[in-house]
Amino acid sequence: MRLFLLPATFDRSSTLQLTGKDFNYLIKALRLKKGQELMGRDRDGGLWNLRIEKIEKASCILSVSPSEKLEEKTDALPQMRPLKPIVLYQCLPKGRKADEIIKKATEAGVQDIVLVKSRNCVADLEGKENSRLERYDAIVTEAIQQSGSVVPTKVHGVLPFKDIPADFSKRSEGLAHLGIVLHQVRLSENQSDLFSCLRGFDGITAIIVGPEGGLEEEECALLLNCGFKAVTLKTNILRCETASIYAIGAVQTILESCCQ
């Protein structure tokens, strides 16, 4: 069953009129017809049953009713099983690399993507942050609808690097939390592999990925002094956009396998 991300203006009414891009997506791209049903997800992660009741030239009207709780759907729809929460702190990469990182991280079910300004960042969103975040929101919407993710992924930023520990502590909301710093150079005598770091952990995980020029030693030390763990991926040297997705997949695989 298709998953449609409801617009931010959705107010939980029993009917919903769609125009513009949302109308084009359902009626022109997916070619849905009157009477067809699909599942909707609001911006808080809630699930809704949708039915197309009327199609006009440039709009359509949907009936909306609450769906079963997510936990009650996981047997029938295994892909809707909630994933362990992950926050990706991505130092700003050059060009359009952020677009691809955000798209793939959303498809993978990352909870929050926080854009970070570190010392070696070449990219600068000053004066363009609002417009860029609007574009990223559109990328998230498309990725959610393509992948069927039930995780309400959000993009935030731009955050100064030094504020990562406080931001992650706030996002964890009292849950057990673990921050992982990806680095190709050994930063600590206690540095371990990803599996050893995550084995038995059940909480919210942060992944910190540097820009093309990597993280400075002082930046790494700041995070390690705040309890973050340094991890070296046992693979080739990866580009920042590759490292982000590789790490997300590896972390999810370990967390899910250890909790089964």
- For 84-107, write each residue's pLDDT tens digit: 899 999 999 988 899 999 999 999
* Average pLDDT of the residues in 35-57: 90
pLDDT of residue 20: 92
pLDDT reported for residue 193: 78
Residues 69 and 99 in one domain: no
Q: What is the dihedral of CA 227, 186, 212, 107, to 10 degrees?
A: -60
Whether residue 45 lies inside any domain: the answer is yes
89 closest CA partner among 104, 111, 122: 111
Greatest alpha-carbon pair distance for the chain in Å reads: 66
- The band of 74, judged by pLDDT with boundaries at 50, 70 and 90, is very low
| Closest to 187 in 3D by CA, of 228, 236, 239, 237 | 228
Whether residue 78 is contained in a domain is answered as: no
Q: Which of 225, 233, 114, 214 is nearest to 164 (CA)?
A: 114
Ranking 12-16, 18-22, 216-220, 254-258 by mean pLDDT, the lowest is: 254-258
Q: Which residues are 206's β-sheet partners?
A: 87, 179
Looking at residue 76, its pLDDT comes to 43
CATH code, domain with 18: 2.40.240.20
Q: Using an 8 Å Cβ cutoff, are 154 and 244 in contact?
A: no
Clarify whether residues 222 and 243 are in a common domain: yes
**Pairing between β-strand 47-55 and β-strand 59-66 as defined by DSSP bridges:** antiparallel
Q: Are residues 63 and 124 in the same domain?
A: no
Q: Are residues 130 and 180 in the same domain?
A: yes
Which residue, 48, 73, 98, sits at the end of a domain?
Answer: 73
Residue 37 φ then ψ, to 5° = -115, 155
- SS3 category, 154: strand
Are 98 and 252 in contact by the 8 Å Cβ rule? The answer is no
Q: Are residues 118 and 200 in the same domain?
A: yes
Q: Give first-to-last CA distance, the chain, whole Å.
A: 26
Residues above pLDDT 70, as percent of the chain: 89
Length of the chain, in residues? 260
Q: What pLDDT is attached to residue 184?
A: 61
Convert the pLDDT of each residue in 50-72 to its tens digit.
999 999 999 999 999 988 654 44
CA 204 to chain CA mean position, Å: 13
d(CA 41, CA 44): 8
In this structure, the answer to whether residues 57 and 137 fall within a common structural domain is: no
- Does pLDDT of 79 surpass 60? no
What tens digit of pLDDT does each residue of 121-147 get? Answer: 988 888 888 888 889 999 999 898 888
Q: Evaluate if residue 78 carries a pLDDT over 50.
A: no
Residue ranges of alpha helices (H) inside 43-92 are 70-73
Query: CATH no. for residue 178?
Result: 3.40.1280.10
pTM: 0.81
Indicate whether 96 and 172 sit together in one domain: yes
Handedness of CA 187, 191, 193, 195 (dihedral sign): negative
pLDDT of residue 62: 96
Domain housing 66: 3-73
Residues 68, 102 within the same domain? no
Number of H helices, E strands in the chain: 8, 11
Residue 45 DSSP one-character state: S
Backbone angles phi, psi at 45, to 5 degrees: 95, 0
- Is residue 47 included in any domain, yes or no? yes
Question: Has residue 77 got a pLDDT over 60?
Answer: no
Q: What's the one-letter identity of residue 208?
A: I
Selection from 210, 167, 160, 161 nearest residue 185 by Cα: 210
pLDDT of residue 169: 94
Q: What is the CA angle 20-25-29, rounded to 5? A: 130
Q: pLDDT tens-digit profile of 218-258?
A: 999 999 999 998 887 777 778 888 989 999 999 999 888 76
Task: Of 95, 116, 113, give the one whose Cα is nearest residue 104.
Answer: 113
Listed residue (11, 200, 171) closest to 87, CA to CA: 171
Is the Cα dihedral 94, 95, 100, 103 positive or negative?
positive
- Asked whether residue 215 falls in the same domain as residue 131, the answer is yes
